[in-house]
């Protein structure tokens, strides 16, 4: 080895370091969460140069010639060749024979290289190259290095397909007369280019730019092609605008053969104290409805001084049929209830305050009309809560709301409501028990815009409540099915008493019955909202048993049962609901099993002991033995209302003939030449028909992925829309066709992309 060209000092064996070396500043190591990927320009000038070879000759500080396994190394630049000549005054390296250049993980190989090492200026003849960030490969007639960030390559063939031999013919290839590579911006600009797949030209492009990484850049995104039963053949061509590091926008003109032309857009922004996005579309003269159609959705969140905050959520569409005709459009606009919500909030020292305005747009359907919710114009809410020492807890909520809606649709007058909710509780707790008595007071006052049926324009109520919640926890270490576990037995009792107060004349503005489950059965009021406080004199008993892994604390099994015992009738109910006189409520059974990482099952049952029938049953399970292998299944029954069977999956088809694939890690697939089946089927047993359907296949060839997905979405009792999505993904380069990935991710729990980079590649992962 020959060192010293950049200035190297070393201590002699068995002796002290020279005085010059002793005067050097000491090295101090500090904790760091990352390893610096790029060498600063100032430090690069001071880097030493190391030369290695089987034979060396030349003149000191002028020229050095290496023969046989020659290596030049400086920082993140390494040159290997059969013969290497280094000129020290000009800092120029000339390499010949099996030349290999590694620059920060990017590799070039070829017969001849000339390079000024520090400025990285020079040329490479007949190089083959591979890029670290996107895994792309290529070959060219010549590469000209302009500087350390810019390269011009001539007569190029580029692909992400692995090179398999000298007669390299990849499945897909980009051919171009000239490509300008900008590593600073992570983009390439090709001129005179054509994209070929299976040696068939599919996309001639005179000039275009493409990414070298996932870094954002302005330009045309791949077009989207759809075949839809409502819109016909659909072509969308998005254009992305990288306005700033914290601002961007996307414009998407769309052509639908059955409906016309539309323009969509999205604007996103991000600042230290606020962020948000605005999404919208406009379709003039939609032939489906013979009118202009538009939709707009905007969200904004902002932090204000002194603990304040601002949140805006605005959603509006042109007409009542928008949700039905644009089922795959802007996600917040596919519902029938669209909020326009503005909130100004503040919190500090146990206090929370919020000023809110909420106005709904209700999209009515003649076949299935809905009662519109009340607008809140405005609402002022103040809350104070504190956990005092020694187990005491106090809280108070104040709410002043103005409710407005169309009285002809709601059947009751608009009103102004004032609410006060106060609570106090104390908890005695030990490692194996707890007991919490609590007192609550709920008071409300109403001022109506029009008199009620009794002629009154005002109403009020004040209801106190008492509850006592207690439980025990027993545990033991035992063994089940050969596995050591810790088992618990947790009995719980909850008693609540609320006296009767007549509330039958008070309208309903924001109140509904709670879902009957393991949470609500242990609550003192069966309603959410502030218009009803039920009179209760009841006791809830429950029993839960769990199995834990004593080493990790992970829950392997949970089983529970609960039932209410009512001592007096419940007379306060919602309008049209009869008083509750049953002394015993339905029984709730529930459980979950997560015995291994591959299997998980959940079940719940609402059982009426008097009739001996189940009113509601839910069964669910998931089997996921490894990456890209998952099956989800659920059964949901609500007696007399619905009965649904739902199955979703992602599974390698190659498993059928014993090809289990490779474990390449997250986001890298299971190796080339593999087929995957994906889908979701939602079947109504009551109607005996499929409600929603997704069926598709994916093929991973290694450097390209093909996807075909059929999607059928039920948008009404008698209406549905179907589409076929086909996508060809050139890995590390671009995607062509329609994009089914969001549909698959939204509908198949634990679906995994075949190419999803979890961590950016490091130059040290390709260290030479």
Q: Give the confidence band of 485 by pLDDT, cuts at 50, 70, 90.
A: very high
Query: Residue 629: pLDDT above 80?
Result: yes
Least confident of 11-20, 157-166, 358-367, 549-558: 11-20
**Residue 716, pLDDT above cutoff 70:** no
How far is it, in rounded angstroms, from Cα 363 to Cα 340?
14
Separation CA 72–CA 79 (nearest Å): 5
What would the mean pLDDT of 537-555 be, rounded to a whole number?
93
Does 632 or 199 have the greater pLDDT score? Answer: 632
**Does position 764 have pLDDT exceeding 70, yes or no?**
no
Collapsed DSSP state (helix, strand, coil) of residue 554 = coil
Q: What is the distance between the alpha carbons of residues 239 and 227, in angstroms, rounded to a whole number?
A: 21
Q: Mean pLDDT, to the nearest integer, of 295-313?
A: 95
pLDDT value at residue 185: 77
* Spatial separation of the C-alpha atoms in residues 604 and 562, rounded to whole Å: 11
Give a three-class secondary structure readout of 174-194.
EEEEEEEEECCCCEEEEEEEE
3-state secondary structure 89-106: CCCEEEEEEEEEEEECCE
Looking at residue 571, its pLDDT comes to 95
Range scoring the smallest mean pLDDT among 170-179, 330-339, 595-604, 729-738: 729-738
Secondary structure element (H or E) that encloses residue 44, with its range: helix 41-44
Give dist(CA 621, CA 404) in Å, integer.
44
Chain segment 345-382, per-residue pLDDT in tens: 999 988 999 999 999 999 988 878 888 999 999 999 99
pLDDT digits (tens, 9 = 90+) for 164-198: 666 667 888 888 998 888 877 777 788 888 888 88
What gap in Å lies between CA 592 and CA 259, rounded to an integer?
Answer: 49
Contact at 8 Å (CB) between 307 and 301? Answer: no
What backbone torsions phi and psi does residue 444 show, to the nearest 5 degrees? -145, 150
Cα–Cα distance for residue pair 88/48, rounded to 1 Å: 12
Average pLDDT over the chain reads 87
- How high is the pLDDT of residue 37? 55
CB 370 within 8 A of CB 364: yes
Provide the pLDDT for residue 301.
96
- 106-110, 381-385, 392-396, 622-626: which range is least confident on average? 106-110
Task: For residue range 590-602, list pLDDT tens digits in order.
Answer: 999 998 889 999 9
For 255-297, the pLDDT digits (tens) are: 999 999 999 999 999 999 999 999 999 999 999 999 999 999 9
Angstrom distance (rounded) from CA 88 to CA 102 = 20
d(CA 118, CA 189): 25
Q: Which two tokens stand for residue 32?
A: 């760091």
Q: What is the pLDDT of residues 21-45, one digit of tens each?
A: 333 344 444 444 444 556 666 666 6
Distance CA 555, CA 547 (A): 6
- The Cα 570–Cα 561 span in angstroms is 23
> Phi-psi region for residue 747, left (φ > 0), alpha (ψ -120 to 50) or beta?
alpha
Tens digits of residue pLDDT in 452-476: 988 899 999 999 999 999 999 999 9
Mean pLDDT of 301-316: 95
Q: What is the dihedral of CA 190, 193, 199, 200, to 10 degrees?
A: 130
Q: Which pLDDT belongs to residue 19?
A: 34
pLDDT at res. 579: 93
What is the rounded distance in angstroms from the CA atom of residue 763 to the CA atom of residue 768? 10
Q: What is the mean pLDDT of residues 202-210?
A: 77
What mean pLDDT comes out for the span 759-767? 62
The residue-averaged pLDDT of 562-578 equals 95
Q: Supply φ then ψ for residue 44, to 5 degrees.
A: -60, -35
Identify whether 378 is preceded by a cis peptide bond (ω within 30 of 0). yes
Give the per-residue pLDDT at 761.
Answer: 64
Q: Give residue 41's pLDDT.
A: 62
What confidence score (pLDDT) does residue 14 get?
34
Tokens of 237: 């061509």
Q: pLDDT for 651-682, tens place per residue?
A: 999 998 888 888 877 778 888 899 999 999 99
> Which pLDDT score is estimated for 12?
32
CB 507 within 8 A of CB 371: no
Per mean pLDDT, which range of 53-57, 224-228, 445-449, 714-718 is the poorest? 714-718
Q: Give dist(CA 273, CA 270) in Å, integer.
A: 8
Condensed to tens digits (0 to 9), the pLDDT of residues 40-91 reads 666 666 788 888 889 988 888 788 899 999 999 988 889 999 999 999 888 8
The pair of structure tokens assigned to 437 is 């008595």
- Is the pLDDT at 391 greater than 50? The verdict is yes
Span 122-151, pLDDT tens digits: 999 999 888 776 677 888 999 998 988 888
User: Residue 264: how many CB atoms within 10 A of its CB?
Assistant: 19
């Amino acid at each position: 080895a020959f060192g010293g060209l950049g200035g190297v000092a070393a201590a002699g064996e068995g002796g002290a370091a020279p005085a010059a070396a002793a005067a050097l500043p000491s090295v101090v190591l500090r904790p760091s969460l990352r390893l610096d990927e790029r060498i600063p320009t100032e430090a690069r000038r001071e880097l030493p140069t190391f030369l290695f070879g089987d034979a060396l000759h030349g003149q000191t500080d002028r020229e050095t010639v290496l023969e046989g396994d020659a290596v030049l190394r400086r920082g993140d630049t390494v040159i290997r060749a059969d013969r290497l000549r280094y000129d020290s005054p000009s800092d120029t390296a000339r390499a010949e024979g099996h030349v290999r250049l590694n620059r920060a993980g990017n590799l070039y190989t070829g017969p001849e290289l000339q390079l000024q090492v520090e400025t990285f200026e020079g040329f490479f003849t007949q190089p083959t190259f591979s890029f670290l960030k996107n895994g792309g490969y290529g070959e060219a007639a010549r590469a000209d290095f302009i500087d350390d960030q810019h390269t011009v390559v001539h007569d190029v063939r580029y692909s992400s397909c692995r090179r398999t031999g000298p007669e390299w013919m990849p499945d897909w290839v980009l051919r171009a007369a000239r490509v300008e590579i900008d590593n600073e911006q992570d983009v390439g600009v090709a001129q005179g280019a054509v994209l070929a797949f299976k040696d068939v030209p599919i996309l001639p492009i005179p000039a275009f730019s493409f990414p070298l990484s996932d870094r954002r850049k302005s330009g045309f995104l791949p077009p989207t092609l759809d075949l839809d039963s409502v819109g016909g053949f659909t072509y969308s061509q998005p254009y992305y605008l990288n306005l700033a590091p914290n601002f961007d926008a996307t414009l998407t003109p769309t052509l639908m053969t059955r409906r016309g032309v539309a323009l969509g857009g999205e604007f996103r922004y991000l600042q230290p104290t606020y962020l948000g996005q605005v999404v919208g579309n406009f379709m003039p003269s939609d032939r489906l409805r013979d009118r202009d159609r538009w939709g707009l959705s905007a969200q904004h969140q902002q932090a204000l001084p002194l603990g304040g905050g601002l949140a805006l959520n605005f959603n509006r569409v042109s007409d009542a049929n928008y949700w039905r005709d644009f089922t795959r459009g802007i996600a917040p606009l596919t519902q029938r209830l669209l909020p326009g919500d503005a909130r100004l909030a503040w919190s500090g020292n146990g206090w929370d305050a919020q000023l809110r305005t909420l106005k709904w747009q209700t999209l009515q359907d003649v076949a299935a009309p809905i009662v519109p919710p009340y607008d809140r114009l405005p609402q002022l809410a103040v809350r104070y809560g504190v956990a005092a020492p020694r187990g005491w807890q106090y809280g108070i909520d104040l709410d002043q709301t103005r409710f407005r809606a169309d009285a002809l649709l709601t059947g009751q007058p608009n009103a102004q409501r004032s609410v006060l909710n106060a609570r106090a509780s104390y908890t005695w707790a030990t490692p194996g028990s707890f007991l919490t008595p609590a007192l609550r007071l709920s008071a409300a006052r109403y001022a109506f815009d029009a008199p009620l049926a009794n002629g009154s324009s005002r109403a009020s109520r004040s209801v106190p409540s008492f509850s006592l919640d207690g439980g025990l926890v027993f545990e033991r270490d035992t063994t089940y099915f050969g596995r050591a576990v810790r088992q618990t037995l947790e009995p719980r009792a909850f008693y609540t008493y609320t006296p009767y107060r007549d509330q039958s004349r008070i309208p309903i503005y924001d109140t509904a019955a709670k879902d009957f489950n393991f949470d609500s059965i242990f609550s003192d009021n069966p309603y959410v909202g502030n218009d009803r406080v039920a009179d209760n004199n009841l006791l809830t008993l429950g029993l839960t048993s769990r199995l834990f892994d004593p080493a990790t604390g992970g829950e392997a099994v949970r089983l529970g049962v609960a039932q209410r015992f009512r001592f007096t009738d419940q007379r306060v109910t919602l309008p049209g609901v009869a008083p509750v006189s049953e002394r015993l409520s339905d029984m709730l059974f529930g459980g979950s099993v997560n015995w291994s990482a591959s299997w998980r099952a959940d079940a719940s049952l609402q059982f009426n002991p008097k009739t001996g029938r189940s009113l509601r049953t839910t069964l669910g399970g998931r089997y996921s033995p490894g990456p890209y292998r998952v099956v989800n299944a659920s059964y949901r029954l609500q007696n007399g209302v619905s009965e649904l069977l739902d199955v979703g999956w992602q599974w390698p088809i190659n498993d059928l003939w014993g090809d289990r694939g490779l474990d390449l890690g997250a986001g890298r697939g299971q190796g080339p030449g593999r087929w995957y089946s994906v889908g979701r089927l939602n079947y109504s047993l009551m109607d005996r028909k499929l409600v929603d359907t997704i069926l598709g296949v994916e093929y991973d060839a290694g450097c390209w992925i093909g996807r075909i997905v059929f999607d059928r979405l039920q948008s009404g009792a008698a209406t549905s829309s179907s589409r076929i999505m086909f996508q060809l993904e050139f890995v590390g380069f671009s995607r062509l066709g329609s994009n089914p990935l969001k549909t698959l991710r939204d509908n198949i729990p634990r679906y995994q992309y075949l190419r999803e980079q979890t961590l950016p590649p490091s130059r040290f992962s390709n260290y030479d």
